[in-house]
Amino acid sequence: MERIEEHLTEHGVKPTAVRILVWEQASRQQETFTLSDMEEWMPHMDRSSIFRALRLFAEHHLLHEIDDGSGQQKYCVCRCGNSRHINHIHFTCMKCGQTYCLEDYQIPIVQLPEGFDMEEAEYVIKGVCPYCKN
């Protein structure tokens, strides 16, 4: 628990009891998850507290927020080497709806027109995952 508090503090997040519990659950996840998933895993905690914690973690680059077109915001733990999330790729299966973080694959940085400054980049590739291919 002390390590969680240090980790949150290092990222500019005040480690409250709720935030510690939410981060503890979120950081266990190897794949993407939704607010509904967190509610299911943490039935003792109210939706708004979980949502506020997730949003705060995303603002402080502890989580990626992924809009994969499903209508549900998805999250995954940020394991990027930089805080700008540049070149981080997600793959959404059009059959099962699962979104995967492809941490070992990168897309080259897009050259933007003069005057445009990139703050973050998000790539969502859609197709069929290996589990649904059969």
Q: What pTM was computed for the model? A: 0.77
Evaluate if residue 101 carries a pLDDT over 80.
Answer: yes
pLDDT of residue 86: 58
Evaluate if residue 109 carries a pLDDT over 70.
Answer: yes
Instruction: Give, in order, the Cα–Cα distances in Å from 3 to each of 6, 45, 78, 92, 102.
Output: 5, 22, 17, 32, 26
pLDDT of residue 67: 82
Say how far apart CA 33 and CA 70 lie, in whole Å. 12
Say how far apart CA 67 and CA 104 lie, in whole Å. 20
